[in-house]
Amino acid sequence: IDTSYMKNGQFFSEYRMRDTISGREAQAALGLRNTFQLAEGLAMLTSFEHTTTISGSSGRSTAASAAFEYTRNPLWKGSLRLEGRKESSQTSYLATAAYAAKVNRDWSFIARDYLSVTDRKSGQTGVQNRFQLGMAYRPVDNDALALLARVEYLVDRNAGGTKSKNDRLIFAASANYHPIRSIWLSGRVAAKMLVNDVNNYSAYTVGLRGIYDITENWDLGLQAGMLADHTGAMSYSA
């Protein structure tokens, strides 16, 4: 249930499933959402909410957040968000920043960073930072070829009674080629490197797929792929 109590201001009451797969925990939330237009294309968004667990063991939590969004320039957009949440067992902080730009008519770019800090009552402090870069090639005048690429670096630290390190570097790219109406070709390549306290791991994969429209109602598809890791083990699929 929600209602507007001012312009761009909303009071809400929600009933939530904490785990939508098993439905083990249900929460009742009560809070406010506001949007303040500071200038043309510049907005500040704030929110405050309090949740109570009806069933389950999560207890209660109180959260507040503030965000800024810039959308005035037609060629680029940016956002910044800060959030704090206090629960019975821990206090967590979240900061996200995003930047998206249209480089030209065919190329676009996005950068995003996600920083999460969790202070637990047990004395452990967890820090996770996820940085992502992405590029997309989508021609305006000719849609025969489309490309997507992404690089992600994740720093995961859990300090305290048991120190742990779990960092990951991921690269992924995919391409779709549609030369004529009856033929679709796609390919993908991805690589991952994992560094933790126990051992290091790396793997890469390559995949190809083709589709041919035989008639209006029938098509023929062929797909093949390969997965390999740093130990030399390889898997194939077709």
Question: Looking at residue 53, what is its pLDDT?
Answer: 80
Tell which wins on pLDDT, 5 or 34: 34
Contacts of 204 (CB under 8 A, 6+ apart): 189, 190, 191, 192, 227, 228
18: confidence class by pLDDT, cuts 50, 70, 90:
low
User: Is 115's pLDDT higher than 80?
Assistant: yes
Average pLDDT, the chain: 90
Report whether pLDDT(57) > 70.
Answer: no
171-194 pLDDT per residue, tens: 999 999 999 989 999 999 999 999
Which pLDDT band, with edges at 50, 70 and 90, does 143 fall under? confident
- pLDDT for the residue numbered 1: 85
Given a cut of 80, whether residue 80 has pLDDT beyond it is yes
- Alpha-carbon separation of residue 16 from 26, 112, 180 (angstroms): 6, 28, 47
Q: What average pLDDT does this structure show over 184-207?
A: 92
Residue 14 pLDDT > 70:
yes
The reported pLDDT for the residue numbered 186 is 97
Cβ(225)–Cβ(208) below 8 Å: yes
Residues 6 or more apart whose Cβ sits within 8 Å of residue 103: 109
**225: phi then psi, degrees, rounded to nearest 5:** -155, 165
Task: Using only the alpha carbons of the chain, give its radius of gyration.
Answer: 23
Contact 25, 19 (CB under 8 A): yes
